Structure formats: C-alpha cells, structure tokens
Chain A
Amino acid sequence: MLEMTYAQAINAALREEMRRDSTVYILGEDVGVFGGCFGVTTGLLEEFGGQRVLDTPISETAIIGSAVGAAAAGLRPVPEIMFMDFMAVCLDEFFNQAAKMRYMFGGKAKVPVTLRTACGAGVGAAAQHSQSLEAWFTHMPGVKVVMPSTPADAKGLLVASIRDDNPVIFIEHKVLYGLSGEVPEGEYVIPLGKADIKRKGSDVTVVATAMMVHKALAAAQTLAGEGIEVEVVDPRTLSPLDKDTILASVAKTGRLVVVHEAVKNSGFGGEIAAIVAEEGFDYLDAPIMRIGAPFTPVPFSPPLETAYIPDENKIIAAIKEIL
C-alpha cells in the first residue's frame, strides 16, 4: 500500500494506463504545461510529450466532439472538462453523439471515451463552478457514470473506466483532491458497477456518494457512540448501479437514508429510493429518507454555501427520524 492523495491516485492511474496503452491520450484546458487546474495531470506532459498530453483552447465542444470522433476512429481519449458545470457547453457531443452512437449504428461502433470532470461545492466557487450534475448522466442510456470517494477507488475505477469500451463520465469531487489514503501498489482495477460497503452496521443503511460518503462516515462514528450502528454503502458507479448490494443492506437494516450533494429534486437519490421501494418494500420498517442540497443554485458567501451542502448533522437527524 502507498499513501497518496485522491489527485495523486488519479494521476497514477492516468500515467499507468498511458504507459500500458499507446492509444490513450489526454486533452483539455490547462492539462499540459499547467498540470491541470487542480494539479491532477502534473508531470504527464513531461513524461508523454505534447502528442499525448494536449492543451486545448477553451473549446469544450471541440474537446469532447473531437474525442468522440477519435474514439470511433480507434483511440482511447481521456478528455478533461475542468468543471462539471461546463458540461452544459458540450452536452450534445457527449449525450447525442457518444452515448447513442453504438445503438444508433446497430452495435457496430465503440466509443471508449473517459471524460474526467470535477464536481462539488465547498471551495467558494459559486453557482457555475460547484454543481454536482451526475443525475444528468445517469439519465443517459449508453453512458457509464463513476463517482469515486477515496484515493484507492479513484485509482481502481479510473483504470477500469479507461479500459472500458463505452463512454464513461468519471466525476471527481474537487474537495477530495487533497484527501490522503492508502492505495494498492501496482495494477489495481475495480470493476465498474460494484458498490463498496464503507462501514458495516445493522441499524440503518446510508447510501452516499462522493464527498457525502465522508460525511456519512462521520455521522456513523458519532452515532456509534449512542449505540446506533450505521451501514454506509458507496455505490461508486451510479450507472450501472449495483442495486444488489444496496438491497441486501436494506434487507439487513430495514431502514434507508440516501444522501448526495446534488439538489434533492430529481436527484439520483430518488432513483435509489424508487428501486428500494419497488424491489425491497418488504424489507422496510420505516419511510426512506432523502438528503440533498436545497433547490437553489450554489451560493457564494461562506455561511450560505455551508448551509447549502448536506452535513453530518442533517444525516444524523434523518437517521434518528426513522429509528
């Protein structure tokens, strides 16, 4: 095991896959000379050169559109969209082109693009640089959606994403970039579509994503002191979703809280709640609780932003409400 940050783990995955497969290349704004807006691609230009680590103009449409064309023509691009909010600028290229190509062409195309992007509030970046928009992409047949919460998961899931023949959106949480953790040495691949139980417990299941995994773990720690055992499930991949692990956990605990940083309305938590209501209704001893951000844009001023992001106290309150 090696101790490294979430950003370093992503960097290691990129480096290893680029060494392993010459068709893997990186493109995006500031990914080369600058080393990435968050430093994630540091040192890659030096190792792989300008043919494989390409600084692009501020042209999200061309970044994703060209990556999709190159993927159809035999390469394995890993484009970076600096902030997830900018996906609104290049949605057609991902949604109407990459996601649908295989199906529209009767199964005769593959588009192995791994789109890396940074989501999340908590750094004072305000309404256009802080959103968690994963639910846009879980609504797209043909796309896989990955959202790692730890350095080890980030590495193993990114390697799997790059090797996957489908378009993948790999959503990194910007507050997690500096988080340190242990990462297995050498080749490390986590299959897409497998959830991870981050903490075992018997009283209530909390399904949480990205930054919220850590808030849920903090809540579980606090509640353990009160004799309440919380099981924290991190789906890691939202599409395809490992519903078996979630249902098995709810079968054991009889209670479910879903928490994400995205706005609660039409968020992915609704999908998880609906699946459990449809397929695990008999397991439930209490109503399902959903926690998400309020239905507002992400605010700038620190007290407002703090109030916007779901926290440990909200998770504890929701758990206590259904116990």
Chain B
Amino acid sequence: MALTKEEMLAMYEKMLLIREFEETVANVFSQGQIPGFVHLYVGEEAVAVGVCSNLGVKDYIASTHRGHGHGIARGASVNKMMAEIFGKIDGYCKGKGGSMHIADVELGFLGANGIVGAGLPLATGAAFANNYLKNNGVAVCFFGDGASNRATFHEALNLASIWKLPVVFVCENNMYGISMSQKVHQNITDVSDRATAYGIPGLTVDGNDLMAVYEASAEAVKRARAGEGPTLLECKTYRHRGHFEGDACVYRCEDELNQWKKKCPIERFAARLLEMSLAEQDELNVIKEQVKEQIKGALEFARQSPLPDVTELTKDVYCD
C-alpha cells in the first residue's frame, strides 16, 4: 500500500526528531551535564524509522547500546528518554537504567541493551510469545554488524527459523564493530549472506534510503505476520559520530565520514519529498522548527525533573 503524504511527512519528522535529540545529547554531554557515556545514532535514522513505521501495538522491538533512535521511532516520549539520560526520576527507568537501558515494555520496546547481541534471543522470545498468544504481533531485533559475530546471532536465527517465528532481524551494518572494520571482523561483505545458513530470506538494502528500508521491512513484517517465519534484513549505513561520545575515531578517516555525510538519510529523503512535490521547502522548515522546539522542551523537562531520592536505590529489584 502506497504511503500517504501525511505518513511520509511523519517519517521525515521522526528522523529529524532523532537527529535533533542526538545532537542535543552530544552537546550537553560535551558540557559535562550528563553522567556516564552515550552511543549516538546520528546518520542511521532511516533504519529505525523505516522499520518501525511498519509496526503496530502488539509488536515488540529489541534494541542495542545505540538505542535512542529505536525508542523514538517506536514512539517513546522524548521527555522521558531525555530525563533518563540525565539520571532523573521522571525518566523511563526512574534514572536507574540510563542511556543503555531505556525501555518501555508496554509500548513494545524491550529496551536498549548494554550487551552486544543480547537482543537477538530476547526478540525471538517476544516473537514466540506473540505466536503463542496468537495475537498476530511480530518482533523486530536491531543489531549491528559486530553483533552478527556473536553466538546469540546463530542460536536466535536458528531457533527462529525452525520454529518459523514472526521476527525480523534487522542488521544495522555501520561498517564497524566498535573500532574494528567489518573488512577485518568478518570474511563476508554482506551480513545477509548468513541467512542461507538458516534457510531464511536474507537481503541487503541501502540503509540510508528511507523508502528502501521501509519497503524491505514491510515485506519482512508481512511474511512474519503471515506465519512464514523470520527474515534477515541488512541495512548498510554509517554512524556519523564515534562508537561513543568522546571516541577519537582513530580507526577511520575523515574522507570516509564526509562521503557518508553526503548520503545523509534525512537530506536524501527531504530532497525526495521536494522532488515528488509532496512538500514545499517551507513545510519542511516548519517541521524542523517544531522538532527543535520539542527537543528543547525535552531538555527543559529533563533539567527540571528531580534526581532520584536515595531511597530508590534498593527498590525495584524484585516484584513483590
């Protein structure tokens, strides 16, 4: 089914919202305003938005350490996310999780995850639950090229394939596992080649092309809902920032980064909207301004929120 103008503009807005959120986090992090460390999603926005635009209320996503984009694309509140990153009581996890553990199970967001590759079996289990409960829901797991070398990848894809579970494995191949180039961390170019080993479809798309991601994931989600089992969808993309904020990126060159910045998924999609006469530049500018205001509001919300009282320390370890 073709997307309406409104749907396409909403996707554009979501990508911008992620970009603005991440750039704001980078800015306040550099000023020492937030504790710990953060991994930002700048440059990869089309993957989260393209995939999550296919999901409904019963669906789950499992995310990664680089999870802010997935949360926002799934519909999480930027206020509560920002407050969590600040370690505040009004954050998603009352400040107990931080950037790497933002989650909202009710929303179908099984959480960012501090362990690379941990989401693969979790999403497989959520897909199992949806199948068991016969609610027509699916699960999506986002993971990187680095995680595709973990044992969890193999066990989860094997189990999901033999049980024909409604899960879509979305590999965000950003070409690096922390500092290690994909060229040296695995002996293949396309992670999707590994699908053959599980007898499931595997395909690779341009992860910076929102429509390519949207269409490929729509097909994979449709297959999953129809009971035809999992798909391995690889989206080739690039993180504009380091593995974490403060990463000197000695393992890659400036030229490579600049080449990828030219392929910015947001600018590309904006150009497409204009080209297809789906929007005027003025309209896009208005959206941009609204997004800026929204993130400004999120930052304000996070700053105003109190820090957790120390009595919170020992709460929430067990269910009563």
Q: Do A and B come from one complex?
A: yes
- Asked if A101 is at the interface (CB within 8 A of a chain B CB), the reply is yes
How many angstroms between the C-alpha atoms of A66 and B129 in the bound complex?
Answer: 9
Chain B residues lying within 8 Å of A141, measured Cβ to Cβ, are 317
Given A104-B96, A107-B316, A165-B319: A70 touches B128 (CB 8 Å cut-off): yes
Classify the interface of chain A: helix, strand, loop or mixed: mixed
B174 to chain A, nearest CB (A): 23
A59 to B127, CA, bound (A): 17
Known A-B contacts A61-B152, A103-B316; the reply to A73 vs B125 at CB < 8 A is: yes
Q: Are A69 and B318 in contact (CB under 8 A)?
A: no
Interface-side segment among A92-100, A170-178, A209-217, A259-267? A92-100
Q: Which residue of B lies closest to A107 (CB)?
A: B316
Question: Please, how many residues of chain B have a CB less than 8 angstroms from a CB on the other chain?
Answer: 47
Q: Which residues of A contact B315 (CB under 8 A)?
A: 107
Are A102 and B103 also in contact (CB < 8 A) when A57-B159, A65-B156, A68-B122 are? Answer: no
B155 interface contact, C-beta 8 A: yes
Whose C-beta in chain A lies nearest to the C-beta of B151? A61
A101 to chain B, nearest CB (A): 7
- Chain A interface size, as a band, is 35 or more
Q: A55-76: which have CB < 8 Å to B?
A: 56-57, 59, 61-62, 64-75
List, in ascending order, chain B residues with CB within 8 A of A23's CB: 132
| Binary flags per residue of A69-88, CB closer than 8 Å to B gives 1, else 0 | 11111110100000000000
Q: Shortest beta-carbon distance, B249 to chain A, in Å?
A: 28
Q: Is the CB of B106 within 8 A of A69?
A: no
Determine whether B60 belongs to the interface, using a CB cutoff of 8 Å to chain A.
Answer: yes
Which residues of chain B come closer than 8 Å to A68, judged between CB atoms?
Answer: 121-122, 125
In the assembled complex, how far is the CB of residue B217 from the closest CB belonging to chain A, in whole angstroms? Answer: 20
The CA-CA distance from A70 to B133 in the complex, in Å, is 10
Q: Does A296 contact B (CB under 8 A)?
A: no
Which single member of A25, A77, A110 contacts B319 (CB below 8 Å)? A110
**Which chain A residues border B121 with CB–CB below 8 Å?**
61-62, 64-66, 68-69, 93
B9 on the A face (CB < 8 A):
no
Contact with A along B68-108 (1 / 0, CB 8 A): 00000000000000000000000111111100010111100
Q: Given A73-B60, A102-B319, A108-B103, does the pair A65, B125 have CB atoms closer than 8 Å?
A: yes
B122, B130, B133 interface centre (most CB from chain A within 10 Å): B122
CA distance A164 to B132 in the complex (A): 21
- Closest chain-B Cβ to A97's Cβ sits at a distance in Å of 6
Query: Quick check: is A51 within 8 A (CB to CB) of the other chain?
Result: yes
Let me know if A225 is at the binding interface, CB within 8 A.
no
Known: A25-B132, A92-B115. 14 other contacts (CB 8 A): A61-B121, A62-B156, A65-B121, A66-B156, A69-B126, A70-B125, A70-B132, A75-B128, A102-B319, A103-B316, A104-B111, A105-B103, A106-B94, A109-B103
